[in-house]
């Protein structure tokens, strides 16, 4: 089905008209409000809510009280399609269609297959009743849809599997990463309501399994949890990238480790505002310091469905609130390309494709090779 602008809730007009790379985006956070409203009706849930109540229930129009409050919105949305093959395929298809409309040429889309399953999963979190959809079946649906969409929308997409706290799916998730490596799974992530407690053991064992087997690793850390989580993610989980990591600035030693390793930081401007991960005052956002210090970071949308926005909104924040130039945005996209989880041949090709495209912007001088060496 060709893209249909009228189906979309959000303006995806490609205002920043150059190819983009997005590394941190949750499949279950990419929904269109209109689709969730339709799926809720089909499932016969949330029927007592009118449109504006439903909107408040699954999207954040103002800064949330906390990260769990923000995540609750995603969980409310996931309940409308968990265990539903067609629903999962539709959410996947629309997420990719919207990313292609934003000008994303390479996307790493992450999700926890366990969250959408209704069979062979303990606990069953979101599905309404037990059925026959195992985590592996969920992956088959997502992988098949990704393949179809890559061809249709001219975008390259790989997936990252999330081990989700507080559930004990870490080791199983790691093994699924290995089993599905040839089906576009490129890495593992740890996600969920980060608190002050340490990373759980099952997650550490899962990450160790991935390290030994050459599977890439990223971790949500230091978003609302302490800087120590970033240090542990790098030193104990051997994370190559950090999701958010804003609070690393509270600890010079930790910030030093990120600099020393050239660890890539996946900054998500809008979500950091809504989750309270970053200060309310945009001028105090850690991304400004990352930029000044030439940290290896890039911009992602995280959960654009929650914000009723798109990646374009995140770019708008970077340009209007932080004064980032187009040249800066090129640099961040090249950082992302160099730190992505594609194999070396594809990664190098992506970097060189972006350089070639960006070179067409004659009035902009990009110091490509001074950016990162990784």
The residues annotated with a catalytic role in the active site are 223
The count of chain residues that interact with Zn ion, using the rule CB under 5 A, is 1
Q: Does 302 bind Zn ion (CB under 5 A)?
A: yes
Rounded to whole angstroms, how far apart are CA atoms 234 and 257?
A: 8
Minimum Å distance from CB 311 to Zn ion?
A: 14
Closer by beta carbon to Zn ion, 221 or else 354: 221
User: How many other CB atoms sit within 10 Å of the CB of residue 137?
Assistant: 19
Tokens of 229: 């989580």
Minimum Å distance from CB 29 to Zn ion?
A: 7
Q: Does 266 bind Zn ion (CB under 5 A)?
A: no
DSSP helix/strand/coil, 156: strand
Task: Report the side by side order of strands in the sheet with 20-26.
Answer: 20-26, 104-111, 156-164, 185-191, 216-221, 241-244, 264-267, 297-299
Strand partners, 157: 107
Closer by beta carbon to Zn ion, 108 or else 302: 302
For residue 352, the surrounding DSSP H or E stretch is: helix 344-358
Among residues 305, 336, 328, the alpha carbon closest in space to that of 12 is found at 305
For Cα atoms 241, 73, 115, give the angle at the middle one, nearest 5 degrees.
65
Minimum Å distance from CB 271 to Zn ion?
A: 7
- Residue at token pair 């999330």: 162
Minimum Å distance from CB 63 to Zn ion?
A: 17
Rounded to whole angstroms, how far apart are CA atoms 307 and 70?
A: 10
Q: Does 194 bind Zn ion (CB under 5 A)?
A: no
Closer by beta carbon to Zn ion, 97 or else 302: 302
DSSP helix/strand/coil, 45: coil
90-98, 245-253, 298-306, 312-320 -> range binding Zn ion (CB under 5 A): 298-306
Return the residue nearest Zn ion (CB atom). 302
Closer by beta carbon to Zn ion, 22 or else 302: 302
Give start and end residues of each alpha helix (H) in 201-322.
201-212, 227-235, 252-261, 269-274, 286-292, 304-307, 311-320
38-46, 47-55, 198-206, 295-303 -> range binding Zn ion (CB under 5 A): 295-303
Minimum Å distance from CB 205 to Zn ion?
A: 22
Closer by beta carbon to Zn ion, 39 or else 219: 219
Closer by beta carbon to Zn ion, 118 or else 272: 272
Rounded to whole angstroms, how far apart are CA atoms 60 and 277?
A: 14
Which residues are near Zn ion by CB under 5 A?
302
């Amino acid at each position: 089905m060709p893209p249909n602008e009228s189906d979309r809730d959000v303006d995806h007009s490609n205002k920043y008209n150059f190819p983009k790379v997005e590394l941190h985006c949750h499949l279950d956070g990419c929904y269109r409000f209109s689709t969730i409203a339709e799926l809720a009706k089909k499932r016969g849930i949330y029927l007592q809510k009118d449109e504006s109540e439903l909107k408040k229930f699954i999207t954040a129009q103002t800064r949330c009280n906390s990260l769990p409050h923000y995540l609750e919105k995603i969980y409310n949305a996931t309940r409308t399609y968990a265990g539903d093959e067609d629903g999962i395929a539709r959410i996947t298809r629309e997420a990719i269609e919207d990313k292609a409309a934003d000008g994303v040429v390479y996307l790493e889309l992450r999700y926890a297959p366990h969250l959408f399953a209704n069979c062979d999963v303990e606990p069953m979190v979101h599905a309404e009743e037990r059925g026959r959809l195992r985590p592996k079946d969920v992956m088959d649906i997502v992988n098949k849809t990704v393949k179809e969409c890559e061809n249709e929308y001219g975008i390259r997409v790989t997936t990252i599997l999330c081990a989700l706290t507080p559930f004990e799916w870490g080791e199983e998730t790691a093994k699924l990463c290995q089993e599905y490596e040839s089906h576009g799974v490129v890495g593992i992530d740890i996600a969920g309501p980060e608190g002050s407690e340490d990373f759980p053991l099952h997650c550490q064992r899962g990450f160790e399994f991935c390290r030994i087997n050459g599977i890439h690793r990223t971790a949500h850390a230091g978003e609302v949890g302490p800087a120590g989580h970033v240090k542990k993610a790098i030193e104990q989980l051997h994370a190559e990238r950090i999701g958010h990591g804003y609070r690393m600035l509270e600890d010079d030693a930790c910030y030093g480790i990120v600099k020393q390793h050239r660890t890539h930081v996946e900054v998500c401007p809008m979500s950091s505002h809504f989750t309270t991960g970053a200060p309310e005052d945009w001028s105090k956002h850690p991304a400004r310091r990352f930029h000044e210090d030439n940290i290896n970071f890039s911009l992602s949308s995280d959960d654009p469905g929650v914000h009723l926005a798109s990646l374009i909104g995140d770019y708008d924040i970077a340009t209007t609130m932080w004064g980032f130039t187009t040249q800066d945005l090129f640099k961040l996209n090249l950082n992302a390309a160099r730190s992505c989880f594609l194999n070396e041949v594809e990664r190098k090709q992506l970097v060189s494709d972006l350089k070639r495209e960006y070179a067409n912007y004659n009035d902009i001088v990009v110091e490509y090779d001074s950016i990162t060496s990784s």
